Structure 1
Amino acid sequence: MEFNPIAFFLSALVTLVVGFIWYNPKVFGTIWMRENNLTQEELKTGNMLKIFGFTYIFSLMITVILMALTIHQTGAIGMVGGPPLLDTAKPSFAAFMADYGTAYRTFKHGALHGFMSGLFFAFPMIGINGLFERKSWKYIFIHAGYWIVTLTLMGGIICGFA
């Protein structure tokens, strides 16, 4: 199974690109600031290098997990002991990979799994945190929507091009 590092690093940039659009004051940024009791001036005081740098590092971590969720061949490779043991795998593994090595390796399939990850992982976690933090449903839906869109695009890129 081939790996495309460009797709890997590109998919991690999706969090920043979608966030730039999603949290723009002309989209959901104004509502998000109001729900968090933040002002433009307060937002300008943050260390942007630290914020964007850690966002990218965390996004790379998310990308690693999305690879396992969207690329089903990862499970088959794991069953033989991972990449170091591929050469010693039984002939049935080689036959399986010959038949199914590229099955479901499309943007559409990855986007589906990314969407499901957003809906069934990110949304419930954000919802739970929001409820305990006494945040509004607007707050919860803005963040959950962001992650659903972001994970959908990341999953599509990872599965279709990695």
Structure 2
Amino acid sequence: MNPELINWPAVVVAALSAFMLGGVWYARGVFGNAWMAANNLTDEEIAKGNKGKIFGLTGVFSLLMSANLAIFLATPATTVAWGAQAGFLAGIWTFSAIAIHSLFELKSWKLIFINGGYSVVSLIIMGTILGAWR
């Protein structure tokens, strides 16, 4: 890992891509309704959430994920293909962690695949951006 090879603007854009994907992924017409049902959440309960805290911390954690992936990709040999592959591998890792926690929380496989799928896809996109923007 060579820290000089980290493209920090790419890290920010990759983090924003995960944030934007979440807006689409969890939209009602995509997986939002199924996600709410699997969590037994109502519109009223969702409305009670502290949006500043939720979105602010989501942005911070997306940035941490992107920076972490960028550190692993900070080599001269990194390409778009390797970035996407590394993102996929990191996504499998996070999918597995989500599955483990969810199984102990007695969550459904539907919820595991919704949340874990988001993680895999978002990390593939992040890795692709980081690999392309060298």
TM-score, with length taken from structure 1: 0.75
Structure 1 position 12, deviation (Å): 0.9
Name segments (4+ residues, structure 1) moved above 6 Å: none
2:6–2:71: 8 Å Cα contact kept in structure 1?
no
Quick one: which amino acid aligns to residue 30 of structure 2?
A: V
SS class of match (1:38): coil
- Aligned mate of 1:34, from 34, 37, 40: 37
Unaligned 5+ segments in structure 2 are: none
The correspondence for 2:58, drawn from 55, 60, 73, is 55
Aligned to 1:144: 116
**Alignment partners' CA distance in 1, 2:30 and 2:83:** 26
1:43-94 CA distance string (max 9 Å, x none): 12212121111111111111121012233x2xxxxxxxxxxxxxxxxxxxxx
Q: 1:5 to 1:47 in 2, by over 3 A?
A: same
Structure 1 partner of 2:89? 116
Structure 1 gaps of 5+ residues are: 74-100
2:12 equivalent to 1:15: no
- What TM-score does the superposition give when structure 2 sets the normalisation length? 0.90
Cα-to-partner distance string for 1:97-152 (whole Å, 9 max, x where unaligned):
xxxx3x2x322220111011111x11110110111000010010111100000000
Identity of aligned residues (%): 43
